[in-house]
Amino acid sequence: MKNLFALLFLTIICTAFIAKDESENSETSKIHSLLDNWHKAAAEANFNKYFGVMTNNAIFIGTDATENWDKTAFMAYAKPYFDKGKAWNFKRIERHVYFDNSMRIAWFDELLETQMKICRGSGVLLKQNGEWKITQYVLSMTIPNDNTDEVIKIKTPIEDSLIHQIKTLK
């Protein structure tokens, strides 16, 4: 009888883990699809589709130190690009997706092929009304370690001034 209860207990535990793995795989696929289609919407200059998958309070952080936009400000910035029929064209090279225990919050990092060469994107998604929505996205250009000194020389005069401005505003 003890063996029967032990077997039943192990079966329940294993079933729970399998169900969680299957659910996670399904949700991971949904997120890959959402992000791939989001990037595609920008390439096709589909403004409504692009911004439709972002939460109302979404934040977009761009490659420039001054680019930290709420959704409304980002929409205003991006609208002229979309209106011209060409925004930006990012294609996934690789992506990793992670979930909290509730499976209602996910975060990811990705490498992208872009007009700026390889960029790194990362972000947070929330599940709202059964659908994943982007609530934060951060885009960064990658810098090969061997070229860091050269890039710092280029950035120094621009960003020293910006650092001073930011510190002065605080």
The total number of structural domains in the chain stands at 1
Read off the tokens for 7: 């077997």
The pTM score is 0.85
Segments forming the whole domain that contains residue 112: 2-169
CATH number for the domain harbouring residue 20: 3.10.450.50
pLDDT in tens, 35-88: 999 999 999 999 999 999 999 999 999 999 999 999 999 999 999 999 999 899
CA distance 11 to 133: 35
The confidence band for 104, taking pLDDT boundaries of 50, 70 and 90, is very high
pLDDT tens-digit profile of 116-164?
Answer: 999 999 999 999 999 999 999 999 999 999 999 999 999 999 999 999 9
